Amino acid sequence: MSDRLLVVSTDCHAGLPIADYKPYVESKYHEMLDMAVPVTVDMMDKSEAMFLIKEINDAWRAPIEQELTGAWDYQQRVKMLAGDGIAAEIVFPDGITEKNTPPFGAGLGLSPKDMVPELQWAGAMAHNRWLAELCANDPARHIGVASIPLLWDVGQAVEAVRWCVDNGLRSVMIPTMWYTNDAYHHVKYEPFWEVCQDLGVIIHFHSGPAPHAEYFGAGFPVEDAREQMPGAMGIYVSEVMWWMYRPLTFMIWGGVFERFPRLKAMIVEGGTMFMLPPWLKLMDFQYNEGDISAKLGDFKSHLSMAPSEYFARNIGIGASCVKRPDIDMRDEIGLEKIMWGSDFPHPEGTWPHTRDYYNETFSGLPEADGRKILGENAVAFYGLDRARLQQVADEIGPDVSIFN
């Protein structure tokens, strides 16, 4: 076995500056895009001013402005991956941090709230067209996650998945929150689950979306109500991970993984993985201790396994910037489930100090476990070309000495 580790980042981001998506947007939407760009940029600026500490973010960006262009420039991106020792990456749309998000609300949040369905679809497919081009530079190394606004039209989503597969994209991101739309235990979504299962397309939920208006005020981000709503950020960071797990609660109890046993799903950038065991324990308790809730009727006979068993079989964890205490819980969480991510190019990620992170976080860890978390689990889950990626790793991967 090579002394150079095969590393896969299950959380990287890429996207054009919003105005540069125009060549990928259908021409009939160009006029709308021209109107939307300045409004979107202004909203992002206002949101950043409230949601992030702008001075800290600007100071972080200043010395790495050129490197940050790797969010859309392929040659710069390859340099970034080499510097981080990453052989392959799972590539999500970018978000507010680097101000390069797909138009019409089709970015990382992918919220249906206050969105025009036709335009959100147009923005999503524009990003997907560009992403397919980016990943085509080296499909073994770049696994693009397409943006799919599933909630509006299931038939359109099915056709979009087929387009994605035809164009080299076998991973999709769907909305984490549905607001007034039907939730994911509704049978209307079954054609979507079916096409993803049949074509080997992996479904992703990425953290970030939450009911921001409840925390920061109905006028967020235009109006700053923080003085009237103290503690808003603390509430957000305490709840945001729950919103990411929530779709899987609906899918597990709704029998989605029972009816589609080969369907795979990922939860990515979940922050603290120690939240997973109690969440699974809660669902298993309700499943196994049904007598306590007998008066509620039969709510589990459509399932052949406990919720935690579906989780173990069908769901993976994109453990972005995972901390050592979470890694030390690997047996409780499930070693085979944990897949590391760098979160490039966001300031909360490990980049540009990933090499130091390896040594600080994985020192003293059994090599076999570390290899799985850093890459081998992702190779198996995504069905990656291990031989090809090991060739890359032999040139740029971190040395096995990080485990010493």
Residue type, 115: M
pLDDT of residue 140: 98
What is residue 51's predicted lDDT score, i.e. its pLDDT?
65
Nearest to 152 by CA among 202, 100, 104, 95: 104
Q: How many structural domains comprise the chain?
A: 1
Residue 361 domain boundaries:
8-403
Longest dimension (CA), the chain: 62
Residue 52: pLDDT band by 50, 70, 90 thresholds?
Answer: low
Q: Percent of the chain beyond pLDDT 90? A: 82
Residue 192: helix, strand or coil by DSSP?
helix
Query: Considering the domain boundaries, does residue 323 fall inside one?
Result: yes
Domain annotation covers residue 2: no
pLDDT for position 94: 82
Phi, psi values for residue 152, rounded to 5°: -80, -45
pLDDT greater than 80 at residue 71 = yes
Cα-to-chain-centroid distance, residue 15: 14
pLDDT tens column, 236-263: 999 999 999 999 999 999 999 999 999 9
End-to-end Cα distance, the chain: 17
Report the CATH number that the domain containing residue 393 is assigned in CATH.
Answer: 3.20.20.140
- C-alpha distances in Å from residue 24, one per residue of 131, 133, 154, 250, 273: 10, 11, 23, 34, 37
User: How far apart are alpha carbons 265 and 121 in whole angstroms?
Assistant: 22
Residue 348: DSSP 8-state: T
**pLDDT on residue 62:** 83
CB atoms within 10 A of CB 392: 22
How far is Cα 352 from Cα 337, in angstroms, rounded to an integer? 26
- pLDDT in the model for residue 43: 79
Whether 67 is covered by a domain: the verdict is yes
pLDDT in tens, 170-214: 999 999 999 999 999 999 999 999 999 999 999 999 999 999 999
Q: Are 316 and 339 in contact (CB under 8 A)?
A: yes
Cα–Cα distances in Å, from 132 out to 57, 136, 163, 171, 397? Answer: 30, 6, 10, 11, 25
By residue count, the chain amounts to: 404
Residue 3 lies inside a defined structural domain of this protein: no
pLDDT at residue 96 is higher than 60: no
Bin 6: left if φ > 0, else alpha if -120 < ψ < 50, else beta. Answer: beta
Q: Tell me the average pLDDT across 60-86.
A: 92
